[in-house]
Amino acid sequence: MDSKRKLRGSAIAWMLVAAPLAAQSVDLDMATRIRDEAVRRSQVMEIARHLTDEIGPRLTGSPALRQAGEWARDRLTDWGLSRARLEPFEFGEGWSFSRCVVSVVEPEIGPVAALPKAWTVGTEGAVRGEAVRLTLEDAEDLEEQKGKLAGKILFLDGPRKEEPSARPRRDFERWDDERLAELVELDLDEPRGDSWREQARKRWAFTRQLAEFLAAEGVVATVELSSRDHGILRLGGDSAKRDPSLPRGVPGLVMAAEPYQRLLRRLEGGERIELEVDVATRFHPEETLAYNTLAEIPGGDKRGEIVLAGAHLDSWHAGTGATDNAAGSAVVLEAVRILQAIGARPRRTIRVALWGGEEQGLLGSRAWVEANVADRPESTDAEELELPRMLRRETWPLRPRAEHGKISAYFNLDNGGGKIRGIYTQGNLAVAPIFQGWIAPLADLGVTTVTNEATGSTDHVPFDRAGVPGFQFIQDPLDYFPRTHHSHLDTFERLRREDLVQASIVMATFLWQTAQREEKLPRKPFPVEPPVRPETGEGAGAR
């Protein structure tokens, strides 16, 4: 018997023994009322439908995200929450697009599926250019191509070198007991280190150089290969270009893998290929702020203390941001609606936060944490100051601000539209038995797992890094990574009522338990040095 299996067995035994013992600390009367409201009078699908079908993609800085924030604020007010409001943070120029038509005109193949990356410039009407396959990765590559690229459309990626990471996954999956047990088993591999930051810094510097070069050379457009197959257009944007003082280059497109690779094969055969590209995009220089949306259910005897639930309201622009992350936003909204509807009077103040700028590097939650929870000294290194904030090295010491001691916990939901199956403690061993107790009466909803592993890439990270308990739930993956994540398939039909109702019950229960507990949740030691496993920001430089 391998040691892994033994460990797995003991983790399951632990769950079974510990859960019934701890269940006694759960408010089962409230758990029953939460379920009843959530199942009988759920509004979670209607909230998600409005955010996706009516408002649509919610790129940070676009008028649509502000509209979504205002709509959420008004619903929170309707439900009787207090101080529903938009809080601004510095972001840069917004961007939106209204047209993208790409056709192969020679040979006469016709239209192909492609979309513009966010913060790309448009064309002035339909323009034509000859396709050229080129790798441009450093200054030397640029030097070599100088004077040769006027009027060209550059195909910047080669064919798929390896199986895309999504391919071995099943197209749709839920965690089974075995994989949940694997998640409990602690990963004792060597820490990963900070290499992502170095790579991101290099990429950032080269992106500027490349943009200047392409515009100066008279390149018509660039085309990149979508990172998913089966016609899925998966893309983000060059978010550094939201800063109008940086060069914006030429129109940048992402094309579906199948037509892209077909054209590559024909180029390789020596054929002349010409494309026509018509892309209309718009910057929104009138508004350089972005917004977080917040509201509260005021507390009772412990009203000075706070429990937060959050998700990001912003999305990328290819789909309508259903699983990333109208789902999480709708669940957070529904959780506080449920608590209001059943007349919950929490001891601590319950606050909901819908963040902006998550996809560009957790910008909304970072700004809010810096202003309210803890900040760091400004770097004195001129080179560091040239970089966008999230690429700068962390400075020390961490300096607690007004709300640092008041927040019991922050609960985040942003791993797609799947059911909640448990929670990551982020290495906070003291909260594990508490959470075990809270999930015991949720076992019949499939919530069984507390793992001490840490997860990253979303808005609980700034809280965790500031020394405040910040958590993300374990969610069933469904078709998030193979299909919907940052893709044009991320639309309302990917959402499932059953999953979102379940998640609303779990979120409302965690909020209630945290609000009512005699003590605030236990904390990890106050951070005095960088974490062993630095967590990256989602989407920084995502395509």
Give residues in contact with Zn ion (CB under 5 A).
Answer: 324-325, 414
Q: Give 438 or 463: the residue with its C-beta nearer to Zn ion.
A: 463
Cβ–Cβ < 8 Å for 65, 290: yes
Q: Give 217 or 324: the residue with its C-beta nearer to Zn ion.
A: 324
SS3 state of residue 119: coil
Q: How many Cα atoms within 13 Å fall on the side-chain side of residue 26?
A: 25
- Whole-angstrom distance, CA of residue 228 vs CA of residue 235: 10
Contacts of 188 (CB under 8 A, 6+ apart): none
Output the smallest distance, CB 293 to Zn ion, in A.
Answer: 16
Output the smallest distance, CB 82 to Zn ion, in A.
Answer: 27
Q: Give 222 or 487: the residue with its C-beta nearer to Zn ion.
A: 487
Q: Give 415 or 425: the residue with its C-beta nearer to Zn ion.
A: 415
Cβ–Cβ < 8 Å for 147, 135: no
Output the smallest distance, CB 515 to Zn ion, in A.
Answer: 26
Output the smallest distance, CB 353 to Zn ion, in A.
Answer: 14
Q: Give 417 or 441: the residue with its C-beta nearer to Zn ion.
A: 417
Q: Give 33 or 485: the residue with its C-beta nearer to Zn ion.
A: 485
Output the smallest distance, CB 68 to Zn ion, in A.
Answer: 14
What token pair was written down for 160?
A: 């798929």
Cβ–Cβ < 8 Å for 304, 106: no
Output the smallest distance, CB 397 to Zn ion, in A.
Answer: 30
Amino acid at 382: A
Q: Give 296 or 414: the residue with its C-beta nearer to Zn ion.
A: 414
Output the smallest distance, CB 410 to Zn ion, in A.
Answer: 16
Q: What is the DSSP string of 5-35?
A: HHHHHHHHHHHHHHHHHHGGGS-HHHHHHHH
Q: What is the DSSP string of 225-238?
A: E-SSSTT--B--B-
Sheet strands side by side (includes 114-116): 110-111, 94-106, 274-284, 127-133, 152-155, 221-225, 252-255, 114-116
Report the largest interatomic distance among the alpha carbons of the chain, rounded to a whole angstrom.
77
Q: Give 35 or 58: the residue with its C-beta nearer to Zn ion.
A: 58
- Whole-angstrom distance, CA of residue 396 vs CA of residue 230: 47
Output the smallest distance, CB 364 to Zn ion, in A.
Answer: 12
Q: Give 299 or 357: the residue with its C-beta nearer to Zn ion.
A: 357
Q: Give 123 or 239: the residue with its C-beta nearer to Zn ion.
A: 239
Output the smallest distance, CB 308 to Zn ion, in A.
Answer: 17
What token pair was written down for 343?
A: 């007349």
Q: Give 425 or 475: the residue with its C-beta nearer to Zn ion.
A: 475
Output the smallest distance, CB 60 to Zn ion, in A.
Answer: 12
Contacts of 123 (CB under 8 A, 6+ apart): 220, 221, 251, 277, 278, 279, 280
Q: Give 219 or 413: the residue with its C-beta nearer to Zn ion.
A: 413
- Whole-angstrom distance, CA of residue 7 vs CA of residue 475: 23
- Whole-angstrom distance, CA of residue 145 vs CA of residue 134: 9
Contacts of 418 (CB under 8 A, 6+ apart): 174, 475, 476, 477, 478, 480, 499
Output the smallest distance, CB 323 to Zn ion, in A.
Answer: 8
Cβ–Cβ < 8 Å for 155, 267: yes
Amino acid at 230: H
- Cis, peptide link before residue 325, omega less than 30° from 0: yes
Output the smallest distance, CB 420 to Zn ion, in A.
Answer: 16
- Beta-bridge partner residues of 375: 399
Output the smallest distance, CB 458 to Zn ion, in A.
Answer: 6
- Beta-bridge partner residues of 234: 487
Q: Give 259 or 356: the residue with its C-beta nearer to Zn ion.
A: 356
SS3 state of residue 41: coil
What token pair was written down for 342?
A: 């059943």
- Whole-angstrom distance, CA of residue 356 vs CA of residue 358: 6
